[in-house]
Structure 1
Amino acid sequence: MTTLPPWRPLLRAARQREGRSPSARWLQLATVAADGTPRVRTLVFRCWADGAALDLLTDGRSAKLAELRQQPAVELCWLLHKARCQFRLRGEVLTLPSDVELDERQRHWRRLTPSGRALWGWPEPGASLDAAAAFPAELADDTPLPDHFELLRIALEQVELLELRDHPHQRRRWCREDGWKEECLNP
């Protein structure tokens, strides 16, 4: 059994305060482009792979996958407005053994709804719009796993929580290398 880091229950409680809002699953992923400039995108949290690793899904045809292969270090920002807090999660995209990666990709593919799978039936992200291109609203359960359906498993090394409820704001940090020991910081 995996022992949860002390920040995980805090994140779970903050997400629960958001209720059924889809935005409770949205987080921003910061990467570095090949030219050294920053990129930020919103992705959907899928699940925890273990105590301090999470899974996100992406289209392998997008620029972010090439960026992550060049520089696997990332930071995620998870703003939960009803809970009035922000989690900043720093880590690295893991390279999984090919058989494990395929199994995990298939598992995630099967768990998606037909409308969730539809995004991987769309034309290449960022390419010029073709007015005649199909943008399906759903892909059936028996649709094969597309090659460009990619899993990003991110192993977290540091987590910061900024709580915006009280005056002054409260800020804490946990680092894997310190055994996830909590450190209070100036906001």
Structure 2
Amino acid sequence: MTEALPPWRPLLRAAMQREGRSVSARWVQLASTGRDGTPRVRTLVFRGWAGVDQLELFSDQRSEKVKELSSHGAAELCWLFPKARQQYRLRGMVQLITPAEQADLCQQRWQQLSDTGRAVWGWPTPAKPLDPSAAFPEHLSDTSPLPDHFVVLRLQVETVERLNLGPHPHQRTRWSAQTLWQEQPLNP
């Protein structure tokens, strides 16, 4: 028996579809807490669903965001769909999945990337001083070995808020795993 989709998933899928082939429809902003306690936000690419309420992103284990999330896994994603005029905020805890822990899963995700998508894992360590002689490959083929620093970020969604900017007044709705995804209308 398969688990039923939460009621916000079809709405999110419809908003995504409304964006068409726009590359930015897969871009999400990940907010987390820095190791110094300050807020941090960065843009990542939505990679897919691992379950009805778990989504996946990929990162470089050498990056600061992975270090931050390993200390405190709480995060929120903001996902804006301009054509659909909707914003989703998904909050929860991030699980870091490394090749050392789940080699088969990471290898499968690695193979799903395009050659250009894999290339960034062949670049030098993120945020280190630039070495002008360092190699920045444009492509890594599917025969390239899975790097040890490839990591899957799996967000276990606990709360979702949707802001529908189309109608007047705007419509804001919240769903929470604690209430079994019962819809709660909010003031916009």
Structure-1 separation of matches of 2:100 and 2:61: 18
Structure-2 separation of matches of 1:130 and 1:97: 27
1:140 CA displacement: 1.1
Q: Residue by residue, what CA displacement relative to the aligned partner does 1:53-101 show, whole Å, maximum 9, x if unpaired?
A: 0110001110011100111010000001111010000000125697773
Q: TM-score, normalised by structure 2?
A: 0.96
Structure-2 separation of matches of 1:130 and 1:116: 22
- Please give the residue correspondences for 1:55-134 in structure 2 after superposition, counting only pairs within 5 Å: 55-94=56-95, 101-134=102-135
Task: Flag the 1:131–1:97 CA change in 2: closer, same or farther, 3 A.
Answer: closer
Cα RMSD of the aligned pairs, angstroms, is 1.4
Task: Flag the 1:67–1:100 CA change in 2: closer, same or farther, 3 A.
Answer: closer
Q: Residue by residue, what CA displacement relative to the aligned partner does 1:124-171 show, whole Å, maximum 9, x if unpaired?
A: 110111111111110011100001100101100000000001110000
Q: Which amino acid counterpart does residue 149 of structure 1 have in structure 2?
A: F
| 1:36 partnered with 2:37 | yes
Q: Which amino acid counterpart does residue 147 of structure 1 have in structure 2?
A: D
1:118 CA displacement: 0.3
Q: Is the 8 A contact 1:101 1:151 kept in 2?
A: no
Q: Residue by residue, what CA displacement relative to the aligned partner does 1:33-61 show, whole Å, maximum 9, x if unpaired?
A: 11100000000000100000011000111
Q: TM-score, normalised by structure 1?
A: 0.97
Q: Is the 8 A contact 1:160 1:171 kept in 2?
A: yes
Q: Is the 8 A contact 2:31 2:77 kept in 1?
A: yes
Structure-2 separation of matches of 1:93 and 1:101: 16
| 1:24 partnered with 2:8 | no
SS in 2 for 1:181: coil
Number of positions where the alignment pairs a residue of Structure 1 with one of Structure 2: 187
Q: Percent identity?
A: 57
SS in 1 for 2:47: strand
Task: Flag the 1:119–1:99 CA change in 2: closer, same or farther, 3 A.
Answer: closer
1:26 CA displacement: 0.3
Q: Is the 8 A contact 2:76 2:90 kept in 1?
A: yes
Q: Is the 8 A contact 1:94 1:153 kept in 2?
A: yes
1:102 CA displacement: 2.1
Task: Flag the 1:61–1:96 CA change in 2: closer, same or farther, 3 A.
Answer: closer
Structure-2 separation of matches of 1:136 and 1:82: 34
Q: Residue by residue, what CA displacement relative to the aligned partner does 1:2-48 show, whole Å, maximum 9, x if unpaired?
A: 21000000000000000000100000000101110000000000010
What runs of 5+ residues in structure 1 fail to find an aligned partner? none
Q: Which amino acid counterpart does residue 25 of structure 2 have in structure 1?
A: A
Runs of 4+ deviating beyond 6 Å: 97-100
Structure-2 separation of matches of 1:44 and 1:11: 15
1:185 CA displacement: 0.1
